[in-house]
């Protein structure tokens, strides 16, 4: 292991602390790079808060913006943003593990623990193999998406081959890592009726957001669904259910809206509604002007953003697994069952507590942040709630008020994006000085609930 890696591990003893420190270091280095004059189109240094906000949005694969990416940042700045999205998507600890393997050809126990926390693998012995597969799979997916996008930009829109390749690679990295950065001021609104662009981006977002454990299990056992784990079953079922729910909800609410789906033909409406349902899982792109959605559609989007994507993937939110397991926990409680059973398996009590903790922490963070932003900004509740959940869920879509939140609001959004990428439980355990184990049990007492 490198000397700097050893120092980092010695300073922070809990793996969660190193994950937080690693992402913090990536944000610091990225902010320094985007603060250089070469990073802007004007040749002048970007304001510190603008650079910090943009870097945090890239590392945390969010996509919220204070400035127009293509107009404000130079090619150097755009490349830095793309690299930061790649780092954020794969995870600082995953990349660090790969570098350690390349340098020393061996992996210590503590480094395995760090990679295990980032990739959510269940066995320390499997971490080396899993990390390599994560990197290869990510690069292959991005390459496939880049080829399709490059061909479409060149053949369909007359872009020179060099520019088409640049656009294809940038947006494939942004899509697979759920980054949400686009090189047009209107995101992807100009491509609202183009299935080649929209479906390629949507598929990349979905695959990246499923989570690597689910993807790898599907690759191994896609013909034998009965052998799928609880994680895979719940992730797929919840993902498909939310995509169908979101698409139908947007179709029902926005079909005749003259400023969203109204002007499109029937096929275009379904394509735009599906794309709009995919993006809240943490994609961050948009082909419709979200500021003109009806309030009912904003509420649906809030729900989809809060849930997010799969565990150990590039998406944010509380995760579809948490949402699905919470539904099973509630159902078991309503039926008066002492255990939570899913299929032919029983959910451990520790996992149940984690699910409830993630739900509670996530909701608490959103509520407190929304209240504070309502106090310091003049915007309405539905707009502020939308922005807060978008930041916490590392989604990146906006009603258009992000740049108007003021300095205090922008600092709050930076903190929200960081917390959303790290995760409430990871951040909480990183702040704890040490884990405490109770060596005795207290007498039990029943409490009236409700």
DSSP string, 279-341: GGGTT---SS-GGGS-HHHHHHHHHHHHH-S-TTSS--SS-HHHHHHHHHHHHHHHTT-SS-E
pLDDT in tens, the chain (450 residues): 444 444 444 444 555 677 778 888 999 999 999 999 999 999 999 999 999 999 999 999 999 999 999 999 999 999 999 999 999 888 755 654 555 445 445 556 556 556 655 565 555 556 677 778 888 889 999 999 999 999 999 999 999 999 999 999 999 999 999 999 999 999 999 999 999 999 999 999 999 988 877 888 888 888 888 888 888 899 999 999 999 999 999 999 999 999 999 999 999 999 999 999 999 988 999 999 999 999 999 999 999 999 998 877 778 889 898 899 999 999 998 988 888 888 778 888 878 888 888 899 999 999 999 999 999 999 999 999 999 999 999 999 999 999 999 999 999 999 999 998 887 656 555 544 445 566 778 888 878 777
Q: Is position 442 within any domain?
A: no
The predicted pLDDT at position 109 comes to: 58
Pick from 310, 256, 254: nearest CA to 286 = 254
CA distance 414 to 407: 11
pTM of the model: 0.88
Report residue 73 as tokens. Answer: 């940042």
Report residue 336 as tokens. Answer: 């008066």
Pick from 173, 210, 205, 168: nearest CA to 280 = 205
Q: Is position 449 within any domain?
A: no
> Is the CA virtual torsion 63, 64, 66, 68 positive or negative?
positive
Q: Locate tokens 């809206």: which residue?
A: 257
CB atoms within 10 A of CB 142: 23
Q: Is position 450 within any domain?
A: no
Cα separations (Å) of 431 from 13, 204, 313, 371, 424? 11, 34, 23, 24, 11
Q: Is position 112 within any domain?
A: yes
Q: Is position 139 within any domain?
A: yes
Q: Is position 447 within any domain?
A: no
Pick from 312, 343, 313: nearest CA to 325 = 343
Report residue 231 as tokens. Answer: 């994680």
The predicted pLDDT at position 408 comes to: 95
The dihedral region occupied by 265, where left means phi > 0, alpha psi between -120 and 50, and beta the remainder, is beta
Domain that holds residue 367: 3-428
Pick from 318, 341, 343: nearest CA to 331 = 341
Those residues whose C-beta lies under 8 Å from the C-beta of residue 315, and which sit 6 or more positions away, are 178, 205, 208, 209, 211, 281, 282, 308, 309, 394
Pairing status of strand 345-346 against strand 341-342: antiparallel
Pick from 393, 346, 403: nearest CA to 369 = 393
Q: Is position 438 within any domain?
A: no
Could you give the number of structural domains in the chain? Answer: 1
| Runs of H (alpha helix) within 211-287 | 212-221, 230-254, 266-278
Q: Is position 266 within any domain?
A: yes
Could you tell me where the beta strands, DSSP code E, fall in 113-184?
A: none
């Amino acid at each position: 292991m490198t000397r700097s890696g050893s120092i980092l591990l010695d300073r922070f003893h809990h793996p969660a602390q190193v994950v937080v420190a690693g992402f913090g270091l990536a944000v610091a280095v990225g902010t320094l790079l985007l603060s250089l004059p070469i990073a802007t189109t004007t040749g002048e240094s970007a304001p510190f808060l603008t650079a910090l906000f943009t870097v945090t949005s890239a590392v945390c694969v969010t996509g919220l913006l204070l400035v127009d990416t293509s107009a404000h940042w130079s090619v150097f700045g755009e490349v830095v943003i793309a690299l930061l999205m790649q780092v954020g998507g794969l995870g600082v600890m995953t990349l660090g593990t790969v570098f350690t393997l390349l340098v020393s050809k061996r992996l210590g126990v503590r480094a395995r623990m760090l990679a295990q926390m980032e990739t959510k693998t269940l066995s320390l012995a499997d971490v080396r193999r899993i990390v390599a597969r994560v990197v290869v799979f990510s690069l292959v997916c991005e390459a496939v998406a880049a080829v399709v996008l490059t061909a479409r930009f060149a053949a369909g829109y007359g872009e020179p081959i060099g520019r088409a390749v640049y656009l294809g690679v940038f947006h494939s990295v942004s899509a697979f890592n759920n980054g949400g950065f686009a090189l047009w001021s209107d995101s992807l609104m100009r491509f609202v009726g183009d299935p080649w662009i929209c479906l390629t981006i949507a598929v990349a977002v979905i695959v990246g957001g499923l989570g690597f454990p689910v993807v790898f299990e599907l690759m191994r056992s896609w013909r034998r669904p009965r052998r799928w784990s609880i994680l895979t079953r719940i992730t797929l079922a919840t993902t498909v259910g939310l995509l169908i729910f979101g698409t139908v909800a947007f179709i029902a609410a926005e079909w005749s809206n003259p400023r969203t789906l109204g002007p499109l033909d029937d096929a275009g409406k379904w394509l735009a509604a599906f794309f709009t349902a995919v993006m809240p899982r943490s994609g961050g792109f948009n082909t419709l002007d979200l500021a003109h959605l009806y309030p009912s559609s904003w509420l649906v989007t809030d729900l989809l953003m809060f849930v997010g994507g799969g565990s150990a993937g590039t998406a944010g939110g509380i995760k579809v697994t948490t949402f699905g397991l919470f539904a099973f926990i509630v159902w078991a409680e309503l039926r008066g069952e002492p255990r939570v059973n899913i299929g032919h398996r029983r959910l451990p009590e520790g996992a149940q507590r984690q699910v409830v903790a993630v739900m509670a922490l996530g909701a608490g963070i959103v509520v407190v942040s929304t209240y504070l932003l309502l106090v310091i900004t003049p915007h309405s509740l539905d707009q502020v709630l939308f922005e807060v959940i978008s930041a916490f869920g590392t989604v990146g879509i906006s009603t258009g008020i992000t740049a108007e939140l003021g300095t205090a609001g922008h600092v709050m959004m930076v903190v929200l994006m960081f917390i959303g990428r790290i995760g409430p439980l990871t951040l909480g355990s990183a702040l704890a000085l040490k884990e405490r184990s109770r060596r005795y049990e207290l007498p039990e007492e029943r409490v009236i609930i409700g």
